[in-house]
A and B are shown apart, each in its own frame.
Chain A
Amino acid sequence: AQTVTQSQPEMSVQEAETVTLSCTYDTSENNYYLFWYKQPPSRQMILVIRQEAYKQQNATENRFSVNFQKAAKSFSLKISDSQLGDTAMYFCAFMKHGAGTYKYIFGTGTRLKVLA
């Protein structure tokens, strides 16, 4: 069975600074996706970034980038130039790849607070 671990329950960062959120996972699958989702107080889960396991290049979306270490089963999220609107819960998620739609396995989340 797959598991996702986020070891940082809470983090804070000053506005305009950089912060890194950690995530590790365990799986015997070779083909899978990894995601970071943001959940603000409005509760809507918003996809921040995704990574396909077969791609060696780390994904980047504007101020958000990941450090994907497949052998170490590590998938961290770096937020550059943090903004007040980045304040939210962040969830790391795993989904195996294949025909059909598979379930997400989520971590327990990291609460990020961006300080003015």
Chain B
Amino acid sequence: DAGVTQSPTHLIKTRGQQVTLRCSPKSGHDTVSWYQQALGQGPQFIFQYYEEEERQRGNFPDRFSGHQFPNYSSELNVNALLLGDSALYLCASSLWTATYNEQFFGPGTRLTVL
């Protein structure tokens, strides 16, 4: 049973560029959430997708956008990168209708903005 997978593992970009991160949920899961974890901090919720729609959003600017595909995989896009966007980006998957919605995390994508 494959867990949550994310690609790429590491990414280096320069300020102003755009980046796309990818996530495949755990088998059987239909909901994907994205978190940003700055160095030395706890993860911060960016947004969540279910049925290809954004269901919840955290306090992040519109430069952060996402998409969910019919196979439940998801992308996180960040435009006009800033130095402060350097962080570990974590994807977590869950099952929307489960009584207990534990979220399973992927290994993350480390984004460095120079």
| Interface set of A (CB-CB < 8 Å, partner B) | 4, 33, 37, 42-45, 47, 50, 52, 91, 93, 95, 100-109
Contacts and interface: CB of A to CB of B under 8 A. Distances in A.
Interface of B: 31, 33, 35, 40-45, 48, 50, 55-56, 58, 88, 90, 92, 94-96, 100-103, 105-108, 110
A100 B107 contact: no
B105 A101 contact: no
A29 to B, nearest CB: 15
Contacts, number: 62
Contact of B101 (A101, A105, A108, A109): A101
Most buried by B among A4, A33, A44, A45: A45
Contact of B42 (A47, A52, A106): A106
Instruction: Report, nearest first, the 8 A-B pairs whose CB atoms are least far apart.
Output: A106-B42, A45-B105, A103-B45, A101-B101, A101-B94, A101-B31, A43-B108, A44-B107
